[in-house]
Structure 1
Amino acid sequence: MNKVKHPIFSIIIMVLLISMLTACGQSSTGQGMDSNQSNETSAQSAASESKAVNQDSQAGAVTRKYKDYIGHEVEIPVSPQRVIFIGETFGDLLALKVDAVGGGFIKGFIFENQLKHIEQMTYPINLEKTLELNPDIILTANTDEKEYSQLAKIAPTVTFNTFAPLEERITLLGDILGRQQQAKEWLAQYKAKNDAMWEKLHKNVLKPGETASVFTYYPGDKLFVMAGTGLSQVLYDPKGFKPVDTIQEVLNANKGFEQISLEVLPKYAGERIFILNPIGQEPQQSTANLLKSSIWLNLPAVQQGHVYFLDINKASSDAYTREYLLEQLPKIITK
C-alpha cells in the first residue's frame, strides 16, 4: 500500500462532502485508486501479530504487544474502553457493539443517526480534540507516518486495514478490542443470513453462473468499475454472481476498483449491472450522460432490464451496511 492520506479514500468517500472527496483523491497512485492492500498481505500481517500479555504493576492495567499490518509494534490495552476509530468501515464496530468515543466516516452513512453521541472526526485529524476525548486506543486507516506519530503520542495507535475482507476485519477487531466472542457470533449469524439470501435468489431469480458489474462516477467525469470493495464484496460471494473476465483481472491485482473509459465499458459489463448513485452534482450529471449514451443503451443488460440503482452511501464495505445489503439486495433485484 502506498503512503496516502487514507488507505482507502475510495469511491465510498463520496458519501462525505465533495470538498473532502477532491482532497482525498489527489493521488491516483495511492490505495484509494490504484494500489490497495492485498488480502494475502493482510493475512500475513495478522499472522505476525504478537500477543504477549504484560501486567503493568504500577497502573494495574493489563496490556499486550501488538504488531499491525504496517509493522508498528505497540503496547495496547487488553480490553480498551475508550476507542477512537478513524476509517470508512466504522460500521464494523457496531457489529461488535463497541461504543466508541470518536470516529470518522459516520456522516452520510446509514448508521449516522445511531451515533449522534459520538464525536465525529474528519481529515485532517484535530489533535486537540483527539486529546480531549482521552482515548485508550486509536485505530486509524491512514498510513501517513507523520500523522501516526502524532496520534501515537496521545494513545496507543494501531493502523488498521479497512480494505481487508469482512471476515478478516471483524476477527482482527474482535482480537484488538477484546471482543473475540462477539466477533465469532456475528460472523456466524452473518454467514447464515448470507447463505439464505443467495439460496432464495438462485431459487427464484438468478441462473447459475450469472455475471454482474458495479459502476459509479467520481468527480471529474471519472468512471469506475468496482471490484474488491463495497457492493462488489457482497455480489462476488462464492454463492453469488461471477465477475466478468476483465473485472476478475482487477480482483486478481488486489484492487478495489479501476478507472475505465466509457468506450471500454461493454468489456466490463456483466449480465446484470448495478449503478451506484454518486453524491454531488458533477458525478450525478456524468451518470445521467452515461444513461443516455448509445454505448449504454446497447448493452444487453440494459436492453433486458437488468440494471439496478443504489445510493453509494448505502453500499459501503462495513459490517453494518453489509447486513443492510443482505436485506435490500433481493428487493432491488426482484423489483
Structure 2
Amino acid sequence: MRHLFYWLILGILGFTLLTACNHHTSHNTSSLPKQQTAECRMVKHTMGETCVPLHPQRVVTLSLSTLGNTLALGVIPIGATNEVQTEKKSLTYLKDKTKGIKFLGISQPNLEATLLLKPDVIIGLDWFKPIYPLLSQIAPTVLDKSDYTNWQKHLSFVAEVLGKQKNEKALWQHYFQRIEKLKSVIGYRYQNKKISFIYVGRNQIHIDARNSYAGSIINDANLQRPSSQNIDAPYGAFPVSLEELAKADGDVLFVTSFSINGDEFLKKQQQEPLWQKLKAVQENHVYYVDFMSWAASNMLGTDAVIDDLFKYLVNVP
C-alpha cells in the first residue's frame, strides 16, 4: 500500500514538476481547485504568491516555529513536522497542545502522509524550496523566509495566512503585559548586572547574541548583556573555544544544551578551572534552562522564557 501511494503521488505530480522546472510562475493558484478561487486571498511568500483559503481548517505546518505560532494563534494543525528527536529533547513548552496532531517526519515531511491528510493549506519555511512543487500540488503552500533573528516577522506571516491578525494583536498585548510586569517586579535590582546565556552542543559552546530569540526577550525586559554578547550575529549566536570561555561570563549565567552529547560535554567542562573561575559560577548564579523553550522562535515559547526569568531573577533569594 505504501508503494502504491508513493507511485500515485509521482504519477499525479510528475507532469507539474516537469513544467515547473521549465516555466516558473510567481502566482501559484493552480494548486487550489477552481471552485475555491473566489473564496481565497493572495499571500506573498518566498516562492511568489499563492491563493490560500479565507478560513483554512486543515492546516499542515513544516517547522517548530510555524507549529508554535499556529497553536498560539488558536489553530490546531492536523499535521506537523519536527526538527528534533522528541525522545531526546522534549517540547515541554508545548505541553499537551500537540495531542491529536499527525507527526509527518523529522525535518522533511512524509509526502504520502501529507497527501492523505487532505490539507487546505501548508505553511512552512524556505528550507522546503526543493520540494515546493510537490507540496503545492497537495495543497496551497506558502513558505516564509527562515530568519532566526526575526521570529516576530514569522508570527505575522502565519497570522496573515490563517487570517488571525486579531489573535496576533492579542498575543502581543499578552507578551508585553508580562514583560512590563517582569520589569516592574525586577525594578533596579539588575541595573548594573549582566545577563549571560550560552548553549552547549557536541564539543562546542555557543554564545547567544543580542539578536537571537532569547536575546530579544532579554532585551525587551531591559536586562543588560555582557559586552561580548551585546552584538548581532548570523543566526543569533556564535561559537567560542574553551580558551574564550570568559566571554560566557556574567553576573547571571543561563545555560542549556541541545543534545545528550551536549549534556555530557557540559558536565566535563564544569570540572575545568576555566569554568570554575567564572563569576556566575563562583557566586552560584548559574541556572539551567530548557533548550527547546529558549530556542523556540515562536510566540508560544515566550511564556516559558519569561517564566524562567521570573523564577531565577525574581523568586530566588
TM-score after normalising by structure 2: 0.78
In the other structure, the counterpart of 1:34 is none
The Cα RMSD (Å) is 2.5
Q: Contact 2:60–2:80 (CA<8 Å) still a contact in 1?
A: yes
Pair 1:288 & 2:267 matched:
yes
In 2, Cα distance between the equivalents of 1:322 and 1:307? 21
Choose which of 256, 260, 271 in structure 2 pairs with 1:276: 256
Q: Which runs of structure 2 are paired with 1:156-195 in the superposition (5 Å)?
A: 156-161=140-145, 163=148, 165-195=150-180
Q: Which runs of structure 2 are paired with 1:114-263 in the superposition (5 Å)?
A: 114-122=97-105, 123-161=107-145, 163=148, 165-202=150-187, 206-219=189-202, 221-227=203-209, 228-237=211-220, 239-249=221-231, 251=232, 253-263=233-243
Aligned residues: 275
One-letter identity of the residue aligned with 1:323 = D
Unaligned runs of 5+ in 1: 1-49
Question: In structure 2, do the counterparts of structure 1 residues 59 and 305 end up closer, same or farther at CA, with 3 Å as the change threshold?
Answer: closer
In 2, Cα distance between the equivalents of 1:158 and 1:277? 32
In 2, Cα distance between the equivalents of 1:229 and 1:84? 26
Q: Which runs of structure 2 are paired with 1:73-112 in the superposition (5 Å)?
A: 73-89=49-65, 90-105=67-82, 107=86, 108-110=90-92, 111-112=94-95
Q: Contact 2:61–2:79 (CA<8 Å) still a contact in 1?
A: yes
In the other structure, the counterpart of 2:8 is none
Runs of 4+ in structure 1 over 6 Å off: none
Unaligned runs of 5+ in 2: 1-26
Q: Which protein is bigger by CA-based radius of gyration? A: 2
Question: In structure 2, do the counterparts of structure 1 residues 185 and 303 end up closer, same or farther at CA, with 3 Å as the change threshold?
Answer: same
Superposition deviation, residue 307 in structure 1? 1.2
In the other structure, the counterpart of 1:31 is none
One-letter identity of the residue aligned with 2:206 = F
In 2, Cα distance between the equivalents of 1:212 and 1:323? 18
In 2, Cα distance between the equivalents of 1:102 and 1:142? 18
Q: Contact 1:64–1:77 (CA<8 Å) still a contact in 2?
A: yes
Pair 1:322 & 2:299 matched:
no
What percent of counterpart residues are identical? 23
